Amino acid sequence: MNKNIYMHIYNDYSAQIQSGSLSAGQKLPSENELAEAYGTSRETVRKALHMLSENGYIHKIKGKGSFVLDTQRMSFPVSGLVTFKEVSERLGRSVRTIVYENECVPSTAEIARCLQLKDLGPVWKVVRAREIEGEKIILDKDYFLTTYVPSLSIEAATNSIYEYLEQKLHLPISYAKKEISVEEVTPEDKQLLDLHDYQHIVVVRNYVYLVDTTLFQYTESRHRLDKFQFVDFARRVQN
C-alpha cells in the first residue's frame, strides 16, 4: 500500500480530508514541518502535496501554506478512473448487478474500430445492468481483447471487473479516455433497462489503455439521463 514515502503522506492526508477529520479551510503543517514529522526531505513532502493539489484535496498558496478544499461540496468522483463498485460503495445505496451476457464473441465492425483491431478477431463481451434502489439505471457493455482477457468468470463480472483484472491478472492499467455524449435510445436499451419514456440516453464511451499504450478495453456505459451526473475538477494552470 505505502511503498513510497510520498504515497504514504498522500494517503494519510487524502484519507483525513475525505473522512472529514480535516475540514475545509484548515491549514496543513508547513512543508518543513511535515518533512520533519515524517522524517523525510522537503522535496518528498512537496511531491505528496502536489498530488493532493492535483486531485482537488488541497490548495497551495505561495508564502502562506496549504489549505484543505471543500471536498464535500466537490462531491465525487473527482475525475479519474473510478469504478462502479467504488462509487456505489461510497454512496452506500442498495445496488445490484445483473449480468446479461459474459462470453467470447466475434467482433463486429464497430467494435473492431473502437478497439483498433485490424481483423475481426474474437473479443470477450460483457453486458451488465446496474440496478440502483430497484431500478435498472445503467447498461454497461464491456469489450476486452482476448489476448489479455481470455475469459472472465460470472463472479468477476458480478463484482468488480477492475479488481479482477488488476489483482488477479495483474494487468497494468495506465490511463483512459472518456467521451460523454447523448444519443437516442436503442431497442436494446429499452429491453434491458427501466427507461420510463425517455427517448435519449447518456453514453459514456471509455477507452482503457495499458502501460505499453495498447488499447485493451472498450466500454460503453449507458445511463438513464435523469440519474446521470459527472463531476470534474480542473486547474487553470499548474501550481
Site string for a second copy, 80-99 (x = CB under 8 A): xx------------------
- 113 interface partner picked from DNA, a second copy, none, CB below 5 to 8 A per type: none
- Kindly tell me which residue out of 39, 118, 155, 181 binds a second copy, with binding defined by CB under 8 A: 181
Q: Which of residues 52-81 bind a second copy (CB under 8 A)?
A: 54, 56, 59, 61, 67, 69, 73-75, 79-81
CB 181 within 8 A of CB 203: yes
Distance CA 115, CA 218 (A): 6
CB 232 within 8 A of CB 125: no
Q: Can you name the residues that pair with 99 across neighbouring β-strands?
A: 128
CB 94 within 8 A of CB 86: no
Site string for DNA, 66-95 (x = CB under 7 A): x-----------------------------
Q: Can you name the residues that pair with 222 across neighbouring β-strands?
A: 139, 203
Stretch that binds a second copy, among 93-101, 104-112, 129-137, 167-175 (CB under 8 A): 167-175
Q: For 15, phi and psi rounded to 5 degrees?
A: -65, -45
- 32 interface partner picked from a second copy, DNA, none, CB below 5 to 8 A per type: DNA
- Per rule CB under 8 A, is residue 234 in the interface with a second copy? yes
Q: For 111, phi and psi rounded to 5 degrees?
A: -65, -40
- Per rule CB under 7 A, is residue 174 in the interface with DNA? no
Site string for DNA, 34-53 (x = CB under 7 A): -----xxxxxx-xx-x----
Where do we find the cell 473510478?
A: 82
Q: For 114, phi and psi rounded to 5 degrees?
A: -65, -35
Q: State in angstroms the smallest separation of the CB of 25 from DNA.
A: 13
Residue 54 parent element (H or E): helix 42-54
Exposure class string for 156-169: b at 16+ Cβ within 10 A, else e: bbeebbbebbeeee
Q: For residues 101 and 179, which CB has a smaller minimum distance to a second copy in the complex?
A: 179
The three-class DSSP label of residue 134 is coil
Task: Using CB under 8 A, list all residues that contact a second copy.
Answer: 25, 51, 54, 56, 59, 61, 67, 69, 73-75, 79-81, 173-182, 198-200, 202, 211-213, 225-226, 228-236, 238-239
| Residue ranges that bind DNA, judged by CB under 7 A | 4-6, 28, 30-33, 39-44, 46-47, 49, 60-66, 239
